[in-house]
């Protein structure tokens, strides 16, 4: 059983509709998953929903639904959204699924039996309205709490705590010894800075049922449910166990799921997450895994956050981008392309409608779209769509783009890979202008030269389809269809020059990205 390349996304809170941030993370992960498949690796791509906790309980109450009813209705929307983005996820986990709940309880029981938890009382200032404990930092300069918290009372609460301190030095040593564990580097440095300067507080892993009941009951104390983050992080391994992963099943002592043959997934190769949840993934999660006797994921890859017009995206101010509306108006691939091309994996990004339209027009309509459309239209017009004899004038340019793309995809450098691919788009468009096939077509003595140019252009289009497949798979399939090739490009090996067979007839050229005046 060979281990698959296992990539996960954060699981989204199911307390609203998906926005650009959720879409972005899932698209990056999908592109990495597709890239690995096109590099010939077997992949398992997991995404899903985080359905427990106070936020969900409150949102359900506001709609006068039971939390489960509320989650079921929204989960259908989120799953439809994953389809709309054409994600190639192999599973979709929901933390309210019995398979996940049973696994979390098995993991908790094991950790409890091994002495990793203790019960202790905590006295703090509690806001019933916000259902949260406040700290001294929440006080205003005059010492009072904001009236938005309502009545704040001093409350003593018992809970279970997970001992973290004992693992602090081990984690520092691990991160230092494994420089690629947290990427990009500046996130790794932030985590190390935090770990070196502050003593870890033990993590409260329970909530009293009296205060919050929408959660997974602790298997060893029915008066408590599991803290939502402890439950959520475990999704990465509960899903692996559900597919029969032997490492996880043996460590936790659970029966493998029904997959035949079972899949080998753990350790994950990449957890793709946003910058706001690095501490959960790079501090709590590694310690949880160590305590469970499991190896750590190979990489935590933290992306930046999108803003719109330079301001925080916020439902309350109406500063939002509705991905479904953008996809409806411009098409999925225009949306996928923009977020991948605009923002490198790491820093924050800024969505502007003008920026979106400008990339659409320059890079998609006038760049890629124009190249494919004029290349194939000329082949149709001048040669009845029949591919001429092979000629290698653009072969070196195509090989460079393919080699660069391959190397960049191995390092998850998605934006740079697109830049490299556009190097070929621009080169081929320039080649049309330089060779002027429309002029050659008027001169019968130039027939051979016209054949050469048309082959180079059609073959460059084919190679672009292969390279673009992980990023904009629908467009790649359309280019293939217009070239008269069946299906869609599957592996990067197909980017070798000369794949187009002379004598073959192409399909019907049609604009990939119609020009828009608005």
Give me the residues that bind ligand MSP (CB under 6 A), please: 10-13, 21-22, 24-25, 50, 232-233, 235, 273-274, 276-277, 305-306, 313
Which CB atom, from 274 or from 297, has the smaller least distance to ligand MSP?
274
Torsion angle in degrees (nearest 10) through CA of 414, 418, 420, 425: 170
Least distance to ligand MSP, CB of residue 47, Å? 10
Least distance to ligand MSP, CB of residue 177, Å? 25
Least distance to ligand MSP, CB of residue 320, Å? 10
Q: Give the C-alpha distances (Å, rounded to integers) separating 306 from 184, 267, 347, 417.
A: 17, 29, 9, 21
Which CB atom, from 24 or from 480, has the smaller least distance to ligand MSP?
24
Least distance to ligand MSP, CB of residue 15, Å? 8
Least distance to ligand MSP, CB of residue 240, Å? 14
Least distance to ligand MSP, CB of residue 393, Å? 43
Which CB atom, from 12 or from 459, has the smaller least distance to ligand MSP?
12
Closest CA to 152 of 132, 180, 122: 132
Q: Are β-strands 221-226 and 270-274 bridged in parallel, bridged antiparallel, or unpaired?
A: unpaired
Distance CA(106)–CA(102), nearest Å, equals: 6
Task: Give residue number: closest CB to ligand MSP.
Answer: 274
Asked whether the beta carbons of 502 and 390 are under 8 A apart, the reply is: yes
Which CB atom, from 235 or from 435, has the smaller least distance to ligand MSP?
235
Which CB atom, from 235 or from 475, has the smaller least distance to ligand MSP?
235
Which CB atom, from 15 or from 420, has the smaller least distance to ligand MSP?
15
How many Cα atoms within 13 Å fall on the side-chain side of residue 35? 23
Which CB atom, from 287 or from 379, has the smaller least distance to ligand MSP?
287
Least distance to ligand MSP, CB of residue 173, Å? 25
Distance CA(486)–CA(73), nearest Å, equals: 38
Distance CA(26)–CA(312), nearest Å, equals: 20
Which CB atom, from 21 or from 484, has the smaller least distance to ligand MSP?
21
Least distance to ligand MSP, CB of residue 232, Å? 4
The position carrying tokens 């706001």 is: 276
Q: How many CB atoms lie within 10 A of CB 144?
A: 10
What residues have CB less than 8 Å from 513, skipping those under 6 apart? 331, 334, 360, 364, 365, 368, 369
Task: State both tokens at 95.
Answer: 């933390």
Least distance to ligand MSP, CB of residue 52, Å? 10
Distance CA(158)–CA(122), nearest Å, equals: 6
Which CB atom, from 267 or from 274, has the smaller least distance to ligand MSP?
274
Distance CA(419)–CA(409), nearest Å, equals: 12
Task: State both tokens at 90.
Answer: 């192999």
Closest CA to 483 of 463, 513, 453: 463
Q: Are β-strands 221-226 and 206-208 bridged in parallel, bridged antiparallel, or unpaired?
A: antiparallel
Bridge partner residues of 125 (DSSP): 134, 154
């Amino acid at each position: 059983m060979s281990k698959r390349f296992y990539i996960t996304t954060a699981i989204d809170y199911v307390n609203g509709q998906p926005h650009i941030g959720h879409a972005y993370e899932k698209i990056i992960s999908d592109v990495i998953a597709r890239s690995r498949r096109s590099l010939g690796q077997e992949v398992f791509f997991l995404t899903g929903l985080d359905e427990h906790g106070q936020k969900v309980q409150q949102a359900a109450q506001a709609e006068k639904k039971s939390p489960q009813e509320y989650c079921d209705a929204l989960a259908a929307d989120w799953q439809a959204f994953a389809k709309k983005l054409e994600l190639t996820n192999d599973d979709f986990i929901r933390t309210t699924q019995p398979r996940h709940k049973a696994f979390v309880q098995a993991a908790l029981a094991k950790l409890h039996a091994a002495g990793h938890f203790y019960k202790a009382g905590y006295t703090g200032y509690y806001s019933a309205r916000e259902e949260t404990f406040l700290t001294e930092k929440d006080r205003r300069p005059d010492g009072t709490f904001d009236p938005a918290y309502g009545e704040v009372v001093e409350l003593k609460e018992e809970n279970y705590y997970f001992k973290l301190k004992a693992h602090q030095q081990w984690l520092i040593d691990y991160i230092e010894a494994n420089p690629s564990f947290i990427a990009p580097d500046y996130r790794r440095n932030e985590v190390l800075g935090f770990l070196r300067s502050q003593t870890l507080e033990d993590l409260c892993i329970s909530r009293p049922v009296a205060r919050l009941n929408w959660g997974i009951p602790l298997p060893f104390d029915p008066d408590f449910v599991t803290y939502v983050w402890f439950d959520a992080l475990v999704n990465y391994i509960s899903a692996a166990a559900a597919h029969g992963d032997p490492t996880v099943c043996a460590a936790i002592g659970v029966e493998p799921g029904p997959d035949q043959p079972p899949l080998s997934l753990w350790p994950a190769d990449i957890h793709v997450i946003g910058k706001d949840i690095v501490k959960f993934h790079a501090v709590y999660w590694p310690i949880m895994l160590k305590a469970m006797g499991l190896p750590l994921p190979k990489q935590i890859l933290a992306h930046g956050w999108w803003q719109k017009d330079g301001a925080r995206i916020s439902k309350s101010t109406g500063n939002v981008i509705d991905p479904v509306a953008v996809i409806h108006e411009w098409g999925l691939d225009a949306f996928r392309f923009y977020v991948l091309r605009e923002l490198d994996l790491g820093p924050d990004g800024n969505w502007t409608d003008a920026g979106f339209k400008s990339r659409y027009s320059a890079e998609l309509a006038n760049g890629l779209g124009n190249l494919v459309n004029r290349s194939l239209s000329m082949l149709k017009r001048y040669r009845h769509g029949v591919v001429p004899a092979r000629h290698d004038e653009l072969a070196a340019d195509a090989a460079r783009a393919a080699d660069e793309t391959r190397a960049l995809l191995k390092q998850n450098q998605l934006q740079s890979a697109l830049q490299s691919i556009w190097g070929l788009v621009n080169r081929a468009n320039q080649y049309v202008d330089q060779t002027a096939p429309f002029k050659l077509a008027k001169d019968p003595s130039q027939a051979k030269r016209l054949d050469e140019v048309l082959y180079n252009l059609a073959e460059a289009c084919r190679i672009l389809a292969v390279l673009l497949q992980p990023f904009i798979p629908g467009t790649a399939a359309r280019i293939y269809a217009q070239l008269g090739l069946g299906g869609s490009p599957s592996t990067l090996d197909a980017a070798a020059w000369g794949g187009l067979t002379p004598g073959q007839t192409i399909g019907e050229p049609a604009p990939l990205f119609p020009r828009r005046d608005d």
